[in-house]
Structure 1
Amino acid sequence: MRILQISDVYFPRVDAVSTSIRSFLREFEAKGHGVTLIVPDYGARADVPAEDVIRVASRSVPFDPVGRMMKPARVLELTERLRGAEYDVVHVQTPFVAHYVGRALARRLGVPLVETYPTFLEERLHHYVPFLPEDWVRFLARDFSRAQCNGVDCVVVPSTAMAGVLKRYGVDTPLRVIPTGIEPHLYDGGDGGRIRAQSGFTPDQPVLAYVGRLAHEKNLDFLLHVLRTAREKLPDLGLLLAGEGPAERHLRELAQTLGLAACVSFVGRPDDLQDRRDCYRAGDCFVFASRTETQGFPLLEAMACGIPVVALSAMGTADILKGRRGSLAPRDDVSDFAAEVVALLKDPERRRRLGAEGRAFVQEWSASAMAERMLELYADACSASLAFTRAAAR
């Protein structure tokens, strides 16, 4: 099968979308399928030799210092160049320029259009335009999402909760729940001691770890308040924040205000998977407080590293946390969350058991299995026997 994928985000920008795309891409190619990927040019390369990546000239994005947006004129040139190409399906990974490029290409190529809905836009957008009324921004996000999802042949969502949200919006396009899979063997090993030393934490000091974007929608203020509360019982407790993003300055100021500046370490964005693995292993447990995740892939990464997870069960994380295997899911309350963290850190045997449970659990979320589900979706979209016939009406 020949697959054309388009995204507004890809490496060297490190986030869940980039990670998901590369995970599926590697599996498709390992199974003998061809994939071409159209993404913005960041001015630096993070492609591997096996990848067929077309980089499109791009410009900076307001309110997102590391974001890039493909230039429309260059995109139009590309659609003309690909007019005669042979692909079986077009898969759009993000809802912005990529969506409109994907629609144009699917029409010209006469193939089905699949789109992944990767971000809970209603809960995210208002953080980036705080000068606009929040209710109006939420309405706009819902209306935008409904229109985009109803303009394609099938929508992929990474969790059952996200599928429910889109149905409530009035999306009537077929929905498939296909989360991003993980390759557990890639998380073997790791040198958490290196990150601890760089961060000023001692080898035996209790440390909470968070690995991910430092974004307002990640609810990281909550974790700082958890840290302050937990330190009443564990005075030497520290917090490691591995990532970058628009909320970093605010978080540094809040840590200072709460008297936590000396026990919170901002280590920056991990450079690669080895760095990410080391950051996870630097923690005695992984903490996660986002209420708006479409999946919660960092939870799986932490489990693959054998690190117990303490996280809020909300939206996409609920699918991962529902069995409580390798994880704890406190109530959405600072005191309750802090109490769970303290109890876990005081019980090494429980941490070991949860870590082992997590490593076993992630085997059920393998990248290979999720790629097979995606390929089945592509085959269904291409099959004349199914009701994926919207391309003719677009």
Structure 2
Amino acid sequence: MEQQMVIGQFNDSYPPVMDGVANVTKNYAYWLHKKYGQCYVVTPAFPGYRDQDPFPVIRYSSLPLVFRPPYRLGCPQIDLKVQRRLKEIPFDLIHTHSPFSSGQLALKIARQKGIPLVATFHSKFYDDFKAVVKAENLAWFGVKQVIKFFSQVDAVWTVNEGTAKTLREYGYRGRVDIVHNGTEFEPPADREARREAINQQLGLVPTEPVFLFVGQHIWQKNVRMIIQALQLLHQRGVAFRMIFAGTGYAEAEMKELVEEVGLAEKVNFLGCVLDRDRLKSLYARADLLLFPSVYDNAPIVIREAAAAKCPAVVVAGSNSAEGIIDNVNGFLTENDPESLAQRIQDIIRDPERLVKVGEEAQRTIYRHWEQIIDEVAARYGELIQEFKKKTTTFGPVPVVK
């Protein structure tokens, strides 16, 4: 263990609410706590859920987020007990992965303590706001509030070049550093055994192509296009099984659509798969990860799948496609059902190439979180030292009350 630090990871989503940013938060905390000192996660409370992480998880008051279950609306401003506890922790640096309730709390604590605050920009917030308010001007007003937040922090990170471009399109003008995501999965040594186990659990034919989607079941992720493409494949007599892992507001409507287009016998909805080992087995069994989202920025699921030699099909030109070379370490498609269906059909016609692309995905896309966090810890150390020099030279940062 090298430099000892006390770090806070703040985010608005955390298990049992599982999404890509919650995954990032959890792995940052796990590896920092294991190798570099003490790490705390600060996040909204979830009724009835008990944390069992090897690091402290501090939960503040929350309410149901009616328009986006199972997410919670954090209310840290009314939770004086948590605020007092956070004041007592000798943080060296705070890192927030959200500009909302956890981000505002992180900003307040960082300024009270006179320590650096890092904020990572993960999401296409305009799309989220537009889906809720249904009006462009209101969605852009929300984006302006997000940019106002990022303009107040000491370091801004994004997860790839495409995400940095999105942030600048939103109006941010400061410095942006790229810090990539990873995965805690390691390439499975027992891949064939895992494949057989999933075949038995789900009643899959061993020779039948299996496609997988992992993520929130929300329309923004282009899940409708997946179902429409599968309908076309079914009409052409192509054999396959499709597995959807995750949950979200569109889940019930997705199931209805699958029924309507006659795919009920070919599609499995597994719900939220919190068992990471089982998820690893699903990747090992899948021939393709179908992830045509143009909403996501740097999907961790693509790295997770790559660890198990499962290549992804993504939309050409999307942020998700960054780092993917067509027919080399993944596959590109146009953003329409017909193109996706034809792409899938062409891919499964050449199983030897599919195997080679999966192997190259593992070699070039897969990166373990431990390696990422070693880089993160070094950056934290530099920021802490720079901040100390700055405050010594120019005086303390103004305290936010």
1:74 deviation in Å?
A: 4.7
Q: Is the 8 A contact 2:8 2:95 kept in 1?
A: yes
**Matched residue count:** 389
1:109 deviation in Å?
A: 0.7
**Aligned counterpart, 2:182:** 181
Is 2:374 the partner of 1:383? Answer: no
State how far apart, in whole Å, the 2-side matches of 1:234 and 1:391 are: 69
Is 2:290 the partner of 1:282? Answer: no
**Aligned counterpart, 2:314:** 311
Q: Gaps (5+ residues) in structure 1?
A: none
State how far apart, in whole Å, the 1-side matches of 2:395 and 2:147 are: 16
Q: Which amino acid aligns with 1:382?
A: I
State how far apart, in whole Å, the 1-side matches of 2:83 and 2:11 are: 14
1:311 deviation in Å?
A: 1.5
**Aligned counterpart, 1:47:** 52
State how far apart, in whole Å, the 2-side matches of 1:387 and 1:254 are: 57
**Aligned counterpart, 1:59:** 63
- Per the alignment, do residues 324 and 392 of structure 1 end up closer, same or farther by CA in structure 2, a change over 3 Å counting? farther
- 5 Å-filtered alignment, 1:28-107, equals 28-42=32-46, 43-48=48-53, 50-107=54-111
Q: Which amino acid aligns with 2:52?
A: D
**Aligned counterpart, 1:172:** 173
Q: Gaps (5+ residues) in structure 2?
A: none
**Aligned counterpart, 1:156:** 157
State how far apart, in whole Å, the 1-side matches of 2:23 and 2:149 are: 23
| SS across alignment from 2:106 | helix
Q: 2:25 aligns with which of 21, 32, 40?
A: 21
TM-score computed with the length of structure 2 as normaliser = 0.89
User: Which stretch of structure 1 is more off in the superposition, 184-193 or 298-307?
Assistant: 184-193
State how far apart, in whole Å, the 2-side matches of 1:324 and 1:86 are: 50
| SS across alignment from 1:204 | coil
Q: Which amino acid aligns with 1:114?
A: V
State how far apart, in whole Å, the 2-side matches of 1:278 and 1:2 are: 35
Q: Is the 8 A contact 1:311 1:328 kept in 2?
A: yes
State how far apart, in whole Å, the 1-side matches of 2:354 and 2:136 are: 42
Q: Which amino acid aligns with 2:243?
A: L
- Per the alignment, do residues 184 and 37 of structure 1 end up closer, same or farther by CA in structure 2, a change over 3 Å counting? closer
| SS across alignment from 2:40 | strand
Q: Is the 8 A contact 2:29 2:40 kept in 1?
A: no
1:187 deviation in Å?
A: 4.7
Percent of paired sites with the same residue: 23
State how far apart, in whole Å, the 2-side matches of 1:287 and 1:66 are: 24
**Aligned counterpart, 1:251:** 254
**Aligned counterpart, 1:134:** 135
| SS across alignment from 2:164 | helix
Q: Is the 8 A contact 1:182 1:362 kept in 2?
A: no
Q: Which amino acid aligns with 1:353?
A: K
- Per the alignment, do residues 84 and 44 of structure 1 end up closer, same or farther by CA in structure 2, a change over 3 Å counting? closer
- 5 Å-filtered alignment, 1:184-223, equals 184-185=185-186, 187-189=188-190, 191-223=194-226
**Aligned counterpart, 2:16:** 12
TM-score computed with the length of structure 1 as normaliser = 0.90
1:188 deviation in Å?
A: 4.6
Q: 2:245 aligns with which of 236, 242, 246?
A: 242
User: Which stretch of structure 1 is more off in the superposition, 19-28 or 226-235?
Assistant: 226-235
- Per the alignment, do residues 315 and 235 of structure 1 end up closer, same or farther by CA in structure 2, a change over 3 Å counting? closer
User: Which stretch of structure 1 is more off in the superposition, 207-216 or 252-261?
Assistant: 252-261
| SS across alignment from 1:231 | helix
